[in-house]
Amino acid sequence: MADGEEYQSLVDDEDDGDDDVSRHLSPLCDPRHLLHRVLVLLFMCFLGFGSYFCYDNPAALQTQVIQDMSLNTASFMQLYAWYSWPNVILCFLGGFLLDRVFGIRLGTIIFSLFVLLGQIIFAAGALANHFWLMNLGRFVFGIGGESLAVAQNTYAVNWFKGKELNLVFGLQLSMARLGSTVNMNVIGWVYGRIQAMTGSAGHTTLGITLMIAASTCLFSLICALVLGFLDRRAEKILKKEQGKTGEVIKLTDVKDFPFSLWLIFIVCVAYYVAIFPFIGLGQVFFIEKFSFTTVQARAINSVVYIISAPASPLLGFLVDKTGRNILWVMLAVVTTLLSHMMLAFTFWNPWIAMCLLGLSYSLLACALWPMVAFVVPEHQLGTAYGFMQSIQNLGLAIMSMAAGSILDNKGYLFLEVFFIACLCCEYIDNISCLTSRRR
């Protein structure tokens, strides 16, 4: 990054007064300086940490939740359903609210509050031994969680567009993965300690554990406050108005989204469908097809996420340096296709395929999401990201059910072939993406 370029950071039309101000600021406090952006990035990353940490609390405590609340697997899965289904609409709304009503700063703080509140209700439900309250908690948590991700994306574009944007998206992805990995490894241990302290396992133990998990949400809320302050300060110093361009945004703007944005949406859905449902259903596949033990199967299943944590910032950096996001997305799709074909049609060591899958997943995530910022005007960014998240949620919810029933009736080969077909559709979509951009 050249220095000259950096100075265009948040300023489109330079004012004379700015130079005076910046002379008195150390690089860390100067909104135009790289160092300051790194500081902002730090808070931006930890903004999502709490929600990613708490999102997978139920999965990490699956046996304990089922036992303590005396549930069966189906009712346990409701905890995820109550998070996901409302989000099909809500995070679209959340994006719109960010753009139109609250503005990014207030919006982020409100969503962080929702996340914290939801987790507290969730924990309270466990303490009081009311499962409906836990579901309500997940619902409230969901309202905040997904919209918070939208806010995070919008913040990233506001601060980093035209600079290290791909890298930033990569970093955010790795923070998300870090959040869930830390959760998976730590929360069971926390539960064990509390069980040892209280002397018995039960819904109270579960409740206390979840309350402790809520502290990560509080931490994220603090990040949101700091970020809001820094953003306001930067705006004052740089005399940049926050998301106000004079244009009024309406929900009906959606129909005026450029064609290439719709293509990006389709890429997003078709790709994630071939990743997440497979990881969700993959354990038995590795046990049966490759004679893995349960432990090995769990390990190989999580390797995609483990790889993506360090790989996505690196790959993001690479994409930043080279540009050409679409070609990178295409490459990611092709390598994903290859790894699914390896899994489906060969008995090759599945570690090869899964590592490849992890790399291509990180590459896609950090090349695809910033593309939205190139095709949508800045004042619609929140709406666009919210819509993308909505469509992704909808696609995943529907396709997960489809994948489940394909597996139930036709088995893994058929499921893999279904994923391969999805990826092929995506590849075609990608090509039209490329040609529509060329025009």
Partner 1 sequence: MWTFRESLICSLLFGSAFGFLGNGDTFRRKVSLELNPGLKPPSSLPPGAVLVHARGLGLNDTLHFLLCNRGAPALLLVHTNSTESAVRLDWPEFINRSSSGSLRVEPESSVTYSSALVFTRLWEYDDVNNTADPQKTAESSFYPPYELQNFIWSDLNGTVNQSDHMITLCGREKSESFLNGSLCLKFSVFESAGREQAWPSLLHNGNSSQLRVWLEGVTPRGNDSRFALEFQSVGDSGFQGRVDVRSSIDDEYTPSIFKVSQWVSFPLNSSGAWGFSQWKPVAYRKPEPVFEDATPCRHSPLVSVSRVPPSALVRAYFRDDLQIHGLNISFGIDKDPVFYSDTRYVSWTVLIGMGEPPADAFSTLIIIIIAVGLGTPLAIIIVGGVFVWVRKRVTHGSVYEPIN
For residue 73, give Cα distances in angstroms to 58, 78, 137, 172.
12, 9, 19, 32
What is the closest distance, in whole angstroms, from the C-beta atom of residue 75 to partner 1 in the complex? Answer: 15
Nearer to partner 1, 42 or 338 (CB): 338
411 contacts partner 1 (rule: CB under 8 A): yes
**DSSP code, position 206:** H
113 contacts partner 1 (rule: CB under 8 A): no
**DSSP code, position 98:** I
410 contacts partner 1 (rule: CB under 8 A): yes
Nearer to partner 1, 169 or 412 (CB): 412
Only one of the segments 121-129, 169-177, 261-269, 427-435 lies at the binding site for partner 1 (rule: CB under 8 A); that segment is: 427-435
Out of 245, 293, 322, 349, name the contact with partner 1 by CB under 8 A: 293
Only one of the segments 190-198, 203-211, 375-383, 409-417 lies at the binding site for partner 1 (rule: CB under 8 A); that segment is: 409-417
77 contacts partner 1 (rule: CB under 8 A): no
Out of 189, 229, 259, 345, name the contact with partner 1 by CB under 8 A: 345
Residue 129's φ and ψ, nearest 5 degrees, are 60, 40
In this structure, which amino acid lies at residue 227?
Answer: L
What is the closest distance, in whole angstroms, from the C-beta atom of residue 399 to partner 1 in the complex? Answer: 16
Q: Which residues contact 76 (CB under 8 A, 6 or more apart)?
A: 58, 62, 65, 66
Give the span between the Cα atoms of 13 and 38, in whole angstroms: 23
412 contacts partner 1 (rule: CB under 8 A): yes
428 contacts partner 1 (rule: CB under 8 A): yes
251 contacts partner 1 (rule: CB under 8 A): no
Nearer to partner 1, 202 or 404 (CB): 404
Binding mask 90-109 for partner 1 (x = CB under 8 A): --------------------
Give the span between the Cα atoms of 425 and 164, in whole angstroms: 30
Binding mask 269-288 for partner 1 (x = CB under 8 A): ---------------xx-xx
Pick the closest to residue 147 from 101, 227, 99, 90 (CA basis): 90
Return the sign of the alpha-carbon dihedral for residues 246, 251, 255, 260: positive
Binding mask 299-338 for partner 1 (x = CB under 8 A): ---------------------------------------x
Nearer to partner 1, 173 or 354 (CB): 354
Out of 24, 199, 347, 439, name the contact with partner 1 by CB under 8 A: 347
25 contacts partner 1 (rule: CB under 8 A): no
417 contacts partner 1 (rule: CB under 8 A): yes
Out of 289, 397, 400, 402, name the contact with partner 1 by CB under 8 A: 289
Residue with tokens 């998300």: 176
CB 367 within 8 A of CB 165: no
408 contacts partner 1 (rule: CB under 8 A): yes
Pick the closest to residue 278 from 222, 376, 209, 361 (CA basis): 361
Say how many residues touch partner 1, by CB under 8 A: 29
Query: What is the signed CA dihedral for 112, 118, 120, 125, rounded to 10 degrees?
Result: 180
For residue 49, count other CB atoms closer than 10 A to its CB. Answer: 20
Pick the closest to residue 231 from 170, 165, 160 (CA basis): 160
Only one of the segments 234-242, 349-357, 380-388, 407-415 lies at the binding site for partner 1 (rule: CB under 8 A); that segment is: 407-415
Pick the closest to residue 426 from 332, 341, 358 (CA basis): 332
What is the closest distance, in whole angstroms, from the C-beta atom of residue 290 to partner 1 in the complex? Answer: 9
Burial class (CB in 10 A: 0-12, 13-18, 19+), 310: middle
413 contacts partner 1 (rule: CB under 8 A): yes
**DSSP code, position 101:** I
Q: Which residues contact 397 (CB under 8 A, 6 or more apart)?
A: 84, 85, 88
Residues within the interface to partner 1 (CB under 8 A): 284-285, 287-289, 293-294, 338, 341, 344-347, 407-414, 417-418, 420-421, 424, 427-428, 431
